[in-house]
Amino acid sequence: MKIAVLGAGNMGSALLGGILRAGVVQAAEVRATTKSEARAAGLRERWGVAASAGGNSAAAAGAEVVVLAVKPGTVPKVVREIRDVLHEEQILISLAAALPISVIEDAAACRMPVFRAMPNIPVVVEEGAIGICHNSMATGAHRELVESLFRGVGVTAFVEEEQMDAVTALSGSGPAYIYMVIEAMAAAGVKMGLSREVSMRLSEQTVLGAAKHARASGLHPAILRDQVITPGGTTIAAIHELERHGLRSMLISAIETATIHAGKRTDVLLAEIEKQKHT
């Protein structure tokens, strides 16, 4: 599979690294672009891929899959730049947060499969959670191909485009919530007299282990939680405190608020893109 990653910055290069490590594509089949030569040189050195500052059209021309990894406001400009080389046999994948597929379709002016993916930052350790949606030109084979790419960096879930704001709020921003949990649990350990190093180690591993156990068991988290509780024991005393402070309700409200905010970001982005058209 020949793949072009246009705008291989933080997220683009994380995806690139993941798919190369997973062997989904070979370095010789990849072309990456950036804005600066320094970033392109870094990509050539680190991954052994062809990388250039600019040259989006040349990179897209020979690719079966074109990944748009520039900032959301730059995506329409880059798609217009490559539109002459785009064709129906290719697949476009946008990583841009908040940017609707329709904007990309308009800029591409080509009836081709367009996917929109929302990865999260743990893709850098190949443990990302990636929500994916697509337009009506995408077939089952296209979905499988796109899924195989993202499986190199994590776990995928297909959703409808109108659900992408919820994906953004849940898993896109989710690592930030969990980092806060890790931080707070480690602080509690320090308060109770553990060393910082031991506290952080135990806190991180507890989050990692609980997530792995939840997935491996296939059981609802409420059942797993009950299995840890001894009547009259320590865990139920702590859970009572968490319930009293509304941990679950707090997270539900936070993700609800973030979903609404994500929708507003789309409105702002669309207004910005409209303005760009007239300047």
Ligand X SMILES: NC(=O)c1ccc[n+]([C@@H]2O[C@H](COP(=O)([O-])OP(=O)(O)OC[C@H]3O[C@@H](n4cnc5c(N)ncnc54)[C@H](OP(=O)(O)O)[C@@H]3O)[C@@H](O)[C@H]2O)c1
CA distances from residue 100 to 10, 116, 244, 262 in whole angstroms, order as listed: 21, 8, 40, 12
- Residue 5 interacting with ligand X (CB under 6 A): no
Enumerate residues 152-191 that contact ligand X by CB under 6 A. 172
- Kindly write out the interface string for residues 92-131 of this chain, putting x where it contacts ligand X by CB under 6 A and - elsewhere: ---xxx--------------------xx-x----------
Q: Toward ligand X, which CB reaches closer, 7 or 189?
A: 7
CA distances from 167 to 79, 131, 182 (A): 24, 6, 22
Q: Write down the least CB distance from residue 95 to ligand X, Å.
A: 4
Contact mark string toward ligand X, 30..69, x via CB under 6 A: ---xxxx--x----------------x------------x
- C-alpha 175/C-alpha 42 separation (Å) is 27
Question: Which CB atom, from 118 or from 186, has the smaller least distance to ligand X?
Answer: 118
Q: Among residues 78, 101, 164, 258, which is the contact residue for ligand X, using CB under 6 A? A: 78
* 6 contacts ligand X (rule: CB under 6 A): yes
CB 93 to ligand X: min, Å? 11
Q: ∠ CA(117), CA(151), CA(164), 5° rounding? A: 25
Please state the closest distance from residue 183 (CB atom) to ligand X, in A.
Answer: 19
Nearest residue to ligand X, scored by beta-carbon proximity: 9
Q: How far apart are CA 62 and CA 40, in angstroms?
A: 19
The letter for the amino acid at 68 is L
Q: Which is nearer to ligand X, 54 or 210 (CB)?
A: 54
Count interface residues toward ligand X (CB under 6 A). Answer: 26
Contact footprint for ligand X (CB under 6 A): 6-12, 33-36, 39, 56, 69-72, 74, 78, 95-97, 118-119, 121, 172
